[in-house]
């Protein structure tokens, strides 16, 4: 069987990581994998796995971009070279492109949905041009509910495959890093407003009153970087805050004491799952997919979103209660190993591929 995955780019991010991990374990199961995107920093990593990497002109967020016409032509060229039997999309424009190609070529389309931010739920284009494929994969039950109730998906064609992380990759030896401060509070993600990092910064003056040697580190890049640095100056915590770039998340997590993700919206939270695997007590917003990962005071601490005072209280509570930290650390690591190991989920993808090919698009595999 040959599968072509389509996504907008191959730069670092949650969807790229997801596609990379899926590629790795599909290849382990003797499924040939191609990747079509506009390119990015992870291209070489996909190639080293053994995937066929193709460039298509899809670097756009516009659903009616003229680039899609050229991209369809490029997909036909890839089909001639790679002869894929399934096209599996991961991002909105890639889903539209893959749906159109599927209709024209007869190649079945599987659409993977990674979550919807509020502004996406208001876009009529998503309701008119659904691009949901012969089957849709939702990474959480909440995403499935949105697909059905907001975007009119057929509930019989939507399959939930809870997202996961590559535990094997986390066990690989990487460079170690040393960070200053205690407690060292860490967070990671794209530096955008939706991640709620400003509320984490605003909690630091409260934390520093009790723990004057505390330090906040955020691993990530994005358009909010300067705004966060300016806020740190305004709050008087610039000397106790640092943005880190170009470091593996696993190395970063091994160097911090507490992990906090104060997102305003979060479909799942891969970084939280990775932090839990390393036994870090996690403080997260009581929203969306984060509640799949964190049960309050059992596998982490839930706080109301956009609430700096509650974040500070949660940090203080964890620091004052070593037994609670130990309990959360043990329970959350156990949960990740048992429920969120991506290698144990790959057969669910293969079953969907086989179902679509055998039942709806008979082809030789």
Residue pLDDT tens, the chain, 365 long? 999 999 999 987 889 999 999 999 999 999 999 999 999 999 999 999 999 999 999 988 777 778 888 999 999 999 999 999 999 999 999 999 999 999 999 999 999 999 876 566 556 666 667 889 999 999 999 999 989 998 889 999 999 999 999 999 888 776 679 999 999 999 999 899 999 999 999 999 999 999 999 999 999 988 999 999 999 999 999 999 999 998 888 999 999 999 999 999 888 899 999 999 999 999 999 998 899 999 999 999 999 999 999 999 999 999 999 999 999 999 999 999 999 999 999 999 999 999 999 854 444 43
Model confidence, pTM:
0.88
Give the count of beta carbons closer than 10 Å to the beta carbon of residue 308: 20
Domains and CATH numbers, the chain: 2-162+345-359 (3.40.50.2000), 170-339 (3.40.50.2000)
**In degrees, to the nearest 5, what angle opens at C-alpha 160 toward C-alphas 159 and 163?**
140
Q: Sort 246 into a burial class: Cβ within 10 Å, 0-12 / 13-18 / 19+.
A: exposed
User: How many whole angstroms separate alpha carbon 351 and alpha carbon 344?
Assistant: 13
246 in Cβ contact with 173 (< 8 Å): no
How far CA 66 is from CA of 60, 155, 204, in Å, comes to: 10, 32, 47
109 in Cβ contact with 134 (< 8 Å): yes
């Amino acid at each position: 069987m040959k599968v072509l995955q389509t996504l907008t780019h191959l730069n670092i991010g949650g969807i790229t990581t997801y596609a990379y991990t899926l590629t790795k374990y599909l290849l382990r199961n003797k499924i040939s994998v191609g990747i079509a995107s506009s390119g990015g920093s992870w291209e070489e990593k996909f190639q080293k796995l053994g995937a066929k990497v193709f460039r298509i002109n899809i670097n756009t967020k516009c659903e009616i971009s003229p680039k899609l016409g050229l991209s369809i032509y490029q997909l036909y060229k890839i089909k001639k070279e790679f002869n894929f039997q399934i096209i599996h999309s991961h991002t909105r424009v890639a889903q539209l492109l893959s749906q159109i190609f599927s209709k024209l070529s007869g190649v079945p389309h599987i659409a993977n949905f990674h979550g919807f931010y509020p502004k996406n739920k208001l876009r009529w284009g998503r309701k008119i041009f659904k691009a949901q494929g012969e089957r849709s994969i939702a990474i959480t039950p909440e995403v499935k509910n949105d697909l059905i109730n907001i975007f009119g998906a057929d509930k019989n064609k939507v399959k939930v495959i809870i997202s996961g992380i590559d535990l094997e990759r986390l066990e690989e030896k990487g460079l170690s890093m040393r960070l200053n401060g205690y407690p060292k509070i860490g967070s990671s993600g794209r530096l955008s407003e939706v991640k709620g990092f400003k509320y984490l910064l605003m909690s630091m003056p409260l934390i520093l009153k009790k723990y004057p040697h505390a330090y906040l580190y955020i691993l990530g890049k994005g358009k909010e970087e300067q705004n966060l640095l300016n806020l740190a100056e305004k709050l008087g915590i610039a000397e106790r805050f640092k943005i880190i770039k170009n470091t593996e998340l696993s190395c970063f997590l091994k160097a911090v004491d507490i992990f906090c993700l104060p997102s305003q919206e979060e479909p799942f939270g891969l970084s939280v799952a990775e932090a839990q695997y390393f036994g870090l007590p996690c403080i997260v917003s009581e929203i969306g997919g984060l509640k799949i990962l964190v049960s309050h005071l059992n596998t982490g601490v839930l706080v109301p979103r956009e609430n700096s005072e509650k974040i500070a209280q949660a940090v203080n509570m964890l620091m004052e209660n070593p037994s609670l930290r130990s309990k959360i650390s043990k329970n959350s690591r156990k949960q990740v190993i048992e429920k969120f190991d991506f290698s144990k989920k790959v057969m669910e993808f293969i079953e969907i591929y086989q179902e679509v090919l055998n039942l709806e698009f008979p082809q030789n595999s």
